[in-house]
């Protein structure tokens, strides 16, 4: 198959593009980072630098493609509405229009389970669950709007599906665990709440497999949304302690209540929105919610309709990730 991967200079997009190339597909990856693009080229992926805001460039890259995986996005807990909308909404619109014009056979759009987040515990959330009246942050709002853009393209004949993968991690991740570890090493990190938060993760190999199944399985309903995880519930603070101690780091001992953390985050967010809108606060309400609340996803739809079966357990994935970190320290 002739394949385009947007966001190929990112974590998921890069892993997906490389795996597709190994499988023998003709893969083009796009993104902004020339350094990461050069690394992709050395691994057999044709790299074409192009931003999601470049409508004509995206349209050209979609031409002649059988599959398009739209992994590119501005993924962050903080930023301006204009920046999120340009990357995640208008960028998605550019990709969908390019795919429609080019007659692409299948499009896989990567969204986020942040759209489910509502500051209350929820276990086994399905794709059809009622969403919060207000998205938790601008990122979640922009990704939800991007899903609407995909739905509109489906109504015009595009065969696209949407994946909501939860907490992707593994070798090459620069956001999830590396971000937490940097905060722990800085000495600023505190234990928040009672350490009962339960969630699910998605090991990178499992997520790549889900992406490929979404493109290759016959009879998948256009516009279908799929939750993707490792299919396991796990205690977040157990994982954080295990990762920290395995790397020889000292786990924080200072504690703060959830109530105080939410108050501090609310004040910090107000200050930054008012005076430093492009600078991320040290603490946000969303990050407090992730560290203190429980949220897991139901992946039975992906299992039954895509044949998705997570091949790597979360703890095995974490041990692989730790081995990679130790080998590259």
Residues 83-107: pLDDT tens digits?
999 999 999 999 999 999 999 999 9
State the average pLDDT over residues 299-309. Answer: 98
Q: Is residue 183 part of a domain?
A: no
Q: What is the pLDDT of residue 137?
A: 94
Alpha-carbon gap, residue 21 to 48, rounded angstroms: 15
Residue 23 covered by a domain: yes
Mean pLDDT of the chain: 95
How many percent of the chain have pLDDT more than 70?
100
27: its two tokens: 């893969």
Stronger pLDDT, 188 or 314, i.e. the higher one = 314
The confidence band for 181, taking pLDDT boundaries of 50, 70 and 90, is confident
Cβ atoms of 318 and 243 within 8 Å: the answer is: yes
CA atoms within 13 A on the CB side of 159: 14
Tell me what pLDDT residue 176 has. 85
For residue 62, tell me if it sits in a domain.
yes
User: Which pair of tokens denotes residue 230?
Assistant: 């490792």
Residue 12 has pLDDT above 90, yes or no: yes
53-85, pLDDT tens digit by residue? 999 999 999 999 999 999 999 998 888 999 999
CA atoms within 13 A on the CB side of 252: 20
Does an H or E element contain 28, and which? strand 26-31
Asked whether the predicted pLDDT for residue 179 surpasses 90, the reply is no
Give residue 175's pLDDT band: very low, low, confident or very high (50, 70, 90). Answer: confident
What CATH number did the domain enclosing 107 receive? Answer: 3.40.50.720
Q: Exposure string (b/e) for 205-232, b if CB count within 10 Å is 16 or more?
A: bbbbbbbbbbbeeeebebbbbbbbbbbe
**Can you give the residue range of the structural domain that contains 99?**
2-167+202-229
Task: Please determine, for residue 259, whether its predicted confidence score (pLDDT) is greater than 80.
Answer: yes
Asked, for residue 235, whether it belongs to a domain, the answer is: no
Long-range contacts of 300-304, Cβ-Cβ distance < 8 Å, separation of 24 or more: 300/126, 301/126, 301/127, 301/224, 301/226, 301/227, 302/210, 302/226, 302/227, 302/228, 303/231
Residue 186's pLDDT is what? 82
Is residue 329 in some structural domain? no
Q: What is the reported pLDDT for 154?
A: 98
Q: Contact 17/8 with Cβ under 8 angstroms?
A: yes
Comparing 78-82, 162-166, 259-263, the range with the smallest average pLDDT is 78-82
Q: Is residue 309 part of a domain?
A: no
Model confidence pLDDT, tens digit, residues 125-140: 999 999 999 999 999 9
Choose the weakest-confidence range: 50-64, 143-157, 272-286: 272-286
Tokens of 133: 């009246």
Closest CA to 8 of 26, 36, 25: 36
Give a yes or no: residue 126 inside a domain: yes
CB-based contact 136:113 (threshold 8 Å):
no
Residue 149 lies in a domain: yes
The pLDDT-based confidence of 188 (bands split at 50, 70, 90) is confident
Q: Domain count of the chain?
A: 1
Report field, pTM of the whole predicted structure over 0.85: yes
Residue 182: pLDDT band (50, 70, 90) is: confident
- pLDDT exceeds 80 at position 329: no
Structure confidence at residue 174 (pLDDT): 82
């Amino acid at each position: 198959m002739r394949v385009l991967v947007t966001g190929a200079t990112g974590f998921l997009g890069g892993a997906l593009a490389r795996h597709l190339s190994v499988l023998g597909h003709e893969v083009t990856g796009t993104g902004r980072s020339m350094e990461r693009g050069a690394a992709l080229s050395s691994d057999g992926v044709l790299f074409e630098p192009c931003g999601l805001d470049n409508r004509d460039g995206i349209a050209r890259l979609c031409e002649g493609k059988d599959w398009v995986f739209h992994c590119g996005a501005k993924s962050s807990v903080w930023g301006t509405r204009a920046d999120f909308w340009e990357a995640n909404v208008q960028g998605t619109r550019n990709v969908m229009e390019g795919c429609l014009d080019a007659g692409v056979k299948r499009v896989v759009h990567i969204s986020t389970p942040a759209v489910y987040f509502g500051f209350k515990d929820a276990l086994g959330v399905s794709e059809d669950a009622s969403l919060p009246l207000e998205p938790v942050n601008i990122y979640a709002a922009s990704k939800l709007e991007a899903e609407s853009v995909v739905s509109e393209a489906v109504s015009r004949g595009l065969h696209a599906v949407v994946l909501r993968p939860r907490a992707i991690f593994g070798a090459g991740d620069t956001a999830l665990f590396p971000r937490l570890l940097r905060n722990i090493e800085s000495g600023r990190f505190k234990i928040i709440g009672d350490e009962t938060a339960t969630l699910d993760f998605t090991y990178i190999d499992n997520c790549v497999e889900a992406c490929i199944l979404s493109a290759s399985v016959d009879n998948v309903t256009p516009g279908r949304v799929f939750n993707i995880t490792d299919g396991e519930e796990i205690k977040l603070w157990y994982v954080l302690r295990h990762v920290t101690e395995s790397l020889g780091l000292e786990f924080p001992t200072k504690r703060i209540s959830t109530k105080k953390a939410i108050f501090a985050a609310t004040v910090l967010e107000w200050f930054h929105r008012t005076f430093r809108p492009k600078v991320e606060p040290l603490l946000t309400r969303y990050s407090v919610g992730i560290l203190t609340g429980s949220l897991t996803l139901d992946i039975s739809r992906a299992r039954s309709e895509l044949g998705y079966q997570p091949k790597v357990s979360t703890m095995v994935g974490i041990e692989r990730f730790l081995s990679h970190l130790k080998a590259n320290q």
